[in-house]
Copies of this chain bind each other. A is one copy, B any other.
Amino acid sequence: MSTATKQRPEAKKKAPVLDRDQFLKAYRSMRTIRSFEDKISEEFMKGNIPGFLHLYSGQEAAGVGICELLNDDDYVVSTHRGHGHCIAKGGDVIGMMKEIMGKQGGICDGKGGSMHIADFDKGMLGANAIVGGGPPLIVGAALSAKTLGTTQVGVAFGGDGSSNQGTTFEAMNLAVVLKLPAIFFFENNGYGEGTHASYAVGSRDIAGRAAAFGMPAFKVDGTDIFAVTEVCKKAVQHCRDGKGPVTIEASVPRFKGHFEGDPQAYRGENEIETLMKEQDCLVIARKAAIKQKLATAAELDKIDEEVAELMGRATEAGLAAPVPEISELMDNVYSSEY
């Protein structure tokens, strides 16, 4: 008892959501995602990237906020919009760039591409091009954790659109029934392709629907890394404590089209400009950090430069890498003998 009274008043102050090091790490991750997306957008325009690209630009604080609280052996499953989640989880940026370019040394040997980006060393179990494909899988990952008696958690990312898919609902229900350490993390960017969430989501309340399944569900401003972190801490702890699943609905802006090349005729006038001006999580984070004296502008600029340099290297490496050998076509169809 007496030791408690000895505590200095400052110690009683609420601990900051992110300390300096944590913030700088999160900021670097967010910047890495933004720069990565900008870079591949550029290379896509030049014709250096095949297939479809769904960029994560604008949503960084959401994915980074939760992933910074996870360990390498915690699991995430992602969506078609998966680059950000992969980087946030610590994914190998150079391997990702090669993958997205369809090259040797790609993190999936060039077999997956943007929509199937993954980094199993970092617990990133893969982007998924089937909307609603991921949530049942994270239930399985969480089941592994529970069955094997670890404190790992699993996070299924999904969009507002994915929240309407039956597989998503089933996964939420099963996670509740089996009390699994699973987090259903919905990034509500307002759109499923060119359909607005206000049209497609019955009740217009993703978290509310999740809560009705019998789990805690939070809404959070996904442009604020501090707010996201705060909510996610509770969610992750809830899971690690064996109390069952949690849902988080983070509102985020989507700065780009549904896919690169999307003419976006469905957007409001000046909508994107306004979003970029008012809801850029990087700008918001910088301001807040400088104000809170967590970092100086110069420090953050330095990170930006380092990230830019890394992106340059990754792009060069990607462009320089050879395409896969045709002889690899039939490799890895099966793991065991066939």
Contacts and interface: CB of A to CB of B under 8 A. Distances in A.
A202 to B, nearest CB: 3
8 contacts: A166-B169, A169-B169, A169-B170, A177-B200, A202-B215, A203-B213, A203-B214, A209-B212
A164 B173 CA distance: 7
Number of copies: 2
Interface of A: 164-170, 172-174, 176-177, 199-205, 208-209, 211-215
Contact of A176 (B169, B174, B202, B213): B202
Nearest to A170: B166
Contacts of A166: 165-170
A204 B214 contact: yes
Contacts of A201: 173
A208 B176 CA distance: 15
Contacts of A208: 212
Given A177-B199, A203-B213, 9 more contacts: A164-B170, A166-B169, A173-B201, A176-B203, A177-B200, A202-B215, A208-B212, A209-B212, A209-B213
Closest 6 CB pairs of A and B: A166-B166, A203-B214, A176-B202, A212-B212, A169-B169, A173-B202
A262 B224 CA distance: 56
Contacts of A214: 202-205
A234 to B, nearest CB: 20
Contacts of A209: 209, 212-213
Contacts of A204: 214
Nearest to A214: B203
Contacts of A202: 172-174, 176-177, 213-215
Contacts of A173: 164, 201-202
